């Protein structure tokens, strides 16, 4: 990787060498996450071998898919030093719009109209967010906070307290069974991950995003267009949110106005746990994806170790503790490098 | 507060934002008074104000935190956990005093955990409070097992429903606190340090400000305020449930930012926050009275937030150039 990811460690005395080495290994967040995922699977697998079965993991991956798709976009947003906390509400709005258009009980339009329209709407809202952030100079957390509230209200208003069901048979079939036995959401997720990876590693655009995130000033001096880059990342996130909606929502029995609530928090959490610096300029896709798997795993794992009715209610607490643990461990191990790190977090 | 002299700023009139928000507030009130008969009557305003005080108390702490460039997303969850602590202790001991103390102590502890993580481990506040946002709510849900506690007696509910000299008790309480916070922020060295930290943390550190210690106490205080808000909320509804305070954090941040506190830190004051709170509150009450729709309310608030900050950015950029 061309980014200066390798840490330079000042200490060289024998006493600290071992721990530094360990720290360096753990510092690759991916290693830690992978260890955690493997360890959990093995432990749960020993208790109940069914956990390691194909069906269970297929189910986990299906649950991962929408989060992974959207996380690809939000990760790029965070890399440029901005944040997007509106994806959950956007998903709900898009689901409502899509449902209204293609449900057999509603407008009953063809999927060939409904799906592209949903994609366009998602991208459009993303671009609007981006232009407010870049042209209007409104901090992204404010814009997306406002949208989080406003879009959710708009969705509830649109649904009018009723649920939308009876999506076209073809779409639900595709979502449930998929192509050649692979659920469509997983296929889409793989496609999006590939696309994002190419974008980051093989196209100048990706490098520019990192440049913008590490120092907006230098990026500007190097002649990069901040406006264009930000329009792109937000537009991309909007597009991916629409995509995630299209492949995931038909899986559900009906569309409710509560769809995607707290989804934004899950996505941001995955991005952060995956090692993307919240101040921008740093982070790898693979870390984010592992974090998505880890966070999604928690619920199935809890079902498998059978914590009972009372334990069920503790799921969120355990999830929260997990995030806290991930963040704290990371800071603990990366503290040694803090000295050399830039401290001018914008 | 007029004596504040910011070295970095050259604006001649520094109450610009407050003026705009105040003007907006007046417009909303006039429109509301015109369209909804009786909206401006003191009685109905007092009645409506009941829904304001918990937010208002949280907003005070949030203002200070955002001035230092931080954020606290966990206040709503802390409220839920404190409420459950109140209910749990009350169910176990039957004592209201013990329950109230437990409620406040829970808030304090939640805040202290945030503070310790932010100041000692130097984690980004957004990350820390995002994690504790999930954790506190989860603990509240696990602890209460979806159970809701209620019937704490009339004396207790009168704490939130009663009034003193015509002002609701929580309101009196809020105003006393608001004055305290405003004086602290504008007139005491520690208060001024908050602005310094928000402007440039590094410079603040090098000039000898105990940034970590201030940070720690800020978040602890925010937690305590959440405990307090929770106590009022519980008293008002005479119920304690794990989902109390859900979504409060966003509304509180909206109010603070609308009140002119910069989300990047370094700028903001209590007067602005109070105006922001009132603007949101009145808009909300007006919209839900006039159209009778809660959904519309959130659309209006969301748009208001974006438009207000956008307008401010556009105008202030023009002034600078």
pLDDT tens per residue, chain B (321 residues)? 333 444 444 455 677 778 888 888 999 899 988 888 888 888 888 878 888 898 999 999 999 999 999 999 899 999 999 999 999 999 998 888 999 999 999 999 999 999 999 998 888 888 888 889 888 998 998 888 888 888 888 888 887 777 777 778 888 889 999 999 999 998 999 889 999 999 888 899 899 889 999 999 999 999 999 999 999 999 988 899 888 888 788 889 889 988 888 888 888 889 999 999 999 899 888 888 888 777 788 888 888 888 888 887 887 776 665
Chain B environment of A139 (Cβ under 8 Å): 263-264, 309
- Mapping DSSP to helix (H, G, I), strand (E, B) and coil, where does residue B149 land? strand
Q: Look at residue A338 in the predicted model and tell me its pLDDT.
A: 47
Distance between B21 CA and the closest CA of chain A, angstroms: 17
- Give the Cα separation of B266 and A48 in Å (integer): 54
Domain limits of chain A? Answer: 29-336
Distances (CA, A) of B189 to B177, B183, B198, B221, B272: 18, 11, 14, 18, 20
Chain A environment of B302 (Cβ under 8 Å): 145-151, 153
For A13, the enclosing helix (H) or strand (E) is none
Contact between B204 and B193 (Cβ < 8 Å) = yes
Residue A8 has pLDDT above 70, yes or no: no
Closest chain A residue by Cα to residue B118? A328
Q: Read off the pLDDT band of A343 (50, 70, 90).
A: very low
Contact between A145 and B251 (Cβ < 8 Å) = no
Q: Look at residue A15 in the predicted model and tell me its pLDDT.
A: 59
- Best of A135, A145, A146, A281 to mutate (most B CBs within 10 Å, chain B): A146
Q: Please, what sign has the CA dihedral across residues A303, A309, A312, A317?
A: negative
Residues 106-125 of B with CB under 8 A from A: 117, 121-124
DSSP-derived letter for residue B36 is S
A277 vs A191 pLDDT, higher one: A191
The phi and psi torsions of B284 (rounded to 5 degrees) equal -55, -50
Q: Look at residue A71 in the predicted model and tell me its pLDDT.
A: 95
Tokens of A237: 């996130």
- Give the Cα separation of A215 and A343 in Å (integer): 12
Contact between A84 and A237 (Cβ < 8 Å) = yes
- Mapping DSSP to helix (H, G, I), strand (E, B) and coil, where does residue B240 land? strand
Beta-carbon separation of A132 and B133 below 8 A: no
A17 vs B212 pLDDT, higher one: B212
User: Interface pTM (ipTM) of the complex?
Assistant: 0.79
Distance between B162 CA and the closest CA of chain A, angstroms: 32
| Residue bearing tokens 């922020």 | B185
- Mapping DSSP to helix (H, G, I), strand (E, B) and coil, where does residue B34 land? helix
Q: Does B316 touch chain A (CB under 8 A)?
A: no
Residue whose C-alpha is closest to residue B252's, from B111, B65, B103:
B65
Distances (CA, A) of A1 to A174, A200, B113, B201: 38, 10, 37, 32
Q: Does A141 touch chain B (CB under 8 A)?
A: yes
**Cα Rg for chain A, rounded, in angstroms?**
21
Q: Look at residue A231 in the predicted model and tell me its pLDDT.
A: 95
Q: What is the pLDDT of residues A135-164, one digit of tens each?
A: 988 889 889 988 988 998 899 888 887 888
Q: Does A23 touch chain B (CB under 8 A)?
A: no
Q: Read off the pLDDT band of A2 (50, 70, 90).
A: very low
The shortest CB-CB distance from B121 to any of A315, A321, A331 is to A331
DSSP-derived letter for residue A7 is P
Residues 281-310 of A with CB under 8 A from B: 310
A29-336: CATH architecture: Orthogonal Bundle (1.10)
Residues 33-52 of B with CB under 8 A from A: none
Residue whose C-alpha is closest to residue A71's, from A297, A299, A287:
A287
- Give the Cα separation of B87 and B243 in Å (integer): 13
DSSP-derived letter for residue B239 is E
Contacts of A300-306 spanning 24+ positions with Cβ under 8 A: A300/A51, A300/A56, A300/A59, A300/A60, A300/A63, A301/A40, A301/A44, A301/A51, A304/A44, A304/A47, A304/A48, A304/A50, A304/A51, A304/A56, A305/A44, A305/A47, A305/A48
Tokens of A38: 């493997």
Contact between A93 and A151 (Cβ < 8 Å) = yes
Tokens of A161: 């307290």
> What is chain A's mean pLDDT, rounded?
83
A80 vs A14 pLDDT, higher one: A80
- Mapping DSSP to helix (H, G, I), strand (E, B) and coil, where does residue A148 land? helix
Distance between A150 CA and the closest CA of chain B, angstroms: 4
Residue environment code for A152-175, b if the CB has 16+ CB neighbours within 10 A, otherwise e: bbbbbbbbeeeebeebbeebbebb
The shortest CB-CB distance from A316 to any of B124, B134, B303 is to B134
The phi and psi torsions of A2 (rounded to 5 degrees) equal -80, -20
Q: Look at residue A274 in the predicted model and tell me its pLDDT.
A: 87
Residue A131 has pLDDT above 80, yes or no: yes
Residues 6+ away with beta carbon under 8 Å from A128: none
Beta-carbon separation of B130 and A265 below 8 A: yes
Q: Read off the pLDDT band of A13 (50, 70, 90).
A: low
Contact between B169 and B231 (Cβ < 8 Å) = no
Residue whose C-alpha is closest to residue B268's, from B127, B59, B72, B124:
B59
Q: Which runs of E-coded beta strand occur in A85-173?
A: none
Distance between B174 CA and the closest CA of chain A, angstroms: 26
Q: What is the pLDDT of residues A300-335, one digit of tens each?
A: 888 887 666 767 778 778 878 877 877 777 677 665
Q: Does A320 touch chain B (CB under 8 A)?
A: yes
Closest chain A residue by Cα to residue B200? A344
- All domains of chain B in start order, with CATH: 42-320 (1.10.3470)
Q: Does A339 touch chain B (CB under 8 A)?
A: no
Q: Read off the pLDDT band of A258 (50, 70, 90).
A: confident
Q: Look at residue A342 in the predicted model and tell me its pLDDT.
A: 41
Chain A environment of B304 (Cβ under 8 Å): 146
The shortest CB-CB distance from A147 to any of B145, B294, B302 is to B302
């Amino acid at each position: 990787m061309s980014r200066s990811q390798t840490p330079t460690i000042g200490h060289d005395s024998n006493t600290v060498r071992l721990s530094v080495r360990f720290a360096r290994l753990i510092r690759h967040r991916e290693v830690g996450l992978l260890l955690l995922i493997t360890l959990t699977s093995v432990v749960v697998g020993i208790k109940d071998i069914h956990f390691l079965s194909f069906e269970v993991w297929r189910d986990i991956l299906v649950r991962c898919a929408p989060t992974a798709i959207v996380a690809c976009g939000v990760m790029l947003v965070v890399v440029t030093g901005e944040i997007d906390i509106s994806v959950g509400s956007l998903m709900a709005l898009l689901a409502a719009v899509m449902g209204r258009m293609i449900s057999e009980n509603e407008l009953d339009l063809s999927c060939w109209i409904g799906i592209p329209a949903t994609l366009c709407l998602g991208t459009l809202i993303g671009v609007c967010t981006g232009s407010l952030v870049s042209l209007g100079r409104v901090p992204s957390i404010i814009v997306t906070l406002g949208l989080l509230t406003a879009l959710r209200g708009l969705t509830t208003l649109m649904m009018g307290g009723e649920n939308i069901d009876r999506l076209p048979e073809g779409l639900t079939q595709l979502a449930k069974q998929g192509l050649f036995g692979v659920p469509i959401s997983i296929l889409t997720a793989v496609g999006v991950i590939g696309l994002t990876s190419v974008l980051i590693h093989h196209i100048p655009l990706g490098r520019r995003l990192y440049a913008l995130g590490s120092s907006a000033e230098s990026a500007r001096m190097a002649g990069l267009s901040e406006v264009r880059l930000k329009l792109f990342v937000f537009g991309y996130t909007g597009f991916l949110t629409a995509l995630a909606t299209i492949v995931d929502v038909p899986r559900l029995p009906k569309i409710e106005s509560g769809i995607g609530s707290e989804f934004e928090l899950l996505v941001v959490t995955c991005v952060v746990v995956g090692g993307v610096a919240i101040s921008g300029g740093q982070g790898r896709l693979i870390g984010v994806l592992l974090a998505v798997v880890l966070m999604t795993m928690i619920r199935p794992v809890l079902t498998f170790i059978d914590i009972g009715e009372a334990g069920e209610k503790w799921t969120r607490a355990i999830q929260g503790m997990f995030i806290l643990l991930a963040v704290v461990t990371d800071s603990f191990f990366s503290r040694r490098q803090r000295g050399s790190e830039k401290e001018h977090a914008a | 507060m007029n004596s504040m002299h910011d070295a970095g700023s050259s604006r001649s009139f520094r109450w610009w934002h407050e003026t705009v928000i105040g003007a907006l507030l007046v417009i909303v009130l006039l429109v509301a008074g015109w369209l909804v008969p009786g909206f401006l009557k003191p009685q109905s305003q007092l009645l409506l104000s009941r829904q304001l005080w918990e937010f208002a108390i949280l907003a005070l702490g949030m203002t200070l935190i955002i001035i230092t460039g931080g954020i606290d997303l966990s206040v709503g969850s802390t409220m839920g956990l404190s409420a459950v602590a109140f209910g749990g202790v009350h169910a176990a001991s039957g004592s209201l005093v013990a329950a109230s103390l437990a409620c406040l102590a829970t808030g304090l502890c939640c805040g202290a955990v945030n503070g310790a993580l932010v100041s000692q481990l130097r984690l980004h506040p957004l990350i820390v409070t995002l994690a504790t946002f999930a954790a506190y709510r989860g603990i509240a849900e696990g602890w209460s097992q979806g159970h809701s506690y209620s019937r704490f007696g009339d004396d207790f509910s009168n704490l939130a429903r009663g009034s003193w000299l015509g002002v609701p008790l929580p309101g009196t309480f809020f105003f006393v606190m608001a004055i305290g916070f405003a004086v602290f922020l504008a007139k005491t060295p520690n208060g001024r340090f908050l602005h310094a930290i928000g402007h440039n943390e590094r410079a603040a550190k090098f000039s000898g400000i105990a940034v970590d210690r201030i940070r720690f106490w800020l978040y602890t205080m925010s937690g305590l305020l959440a405990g307090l808000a929770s106590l009022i909320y519980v008293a008002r509804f005479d119920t304690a449930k794990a989902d109390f305070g859900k979504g409060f954090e966003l509304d509180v941040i909206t109010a603070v930012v609308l009140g002119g506190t910069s989300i990047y830190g370094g700028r903001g004051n209590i007067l602005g926050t109070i105006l922001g709170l009132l603007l949101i509150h009145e808009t909300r009450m007006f919209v839900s009275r006039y159209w009778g729709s809660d959904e519309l309310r959130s659309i209006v608030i969301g748009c208001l937030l974006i438009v207000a900050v956008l307008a401010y950015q556009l105008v202030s950029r023009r002034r600078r150039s």
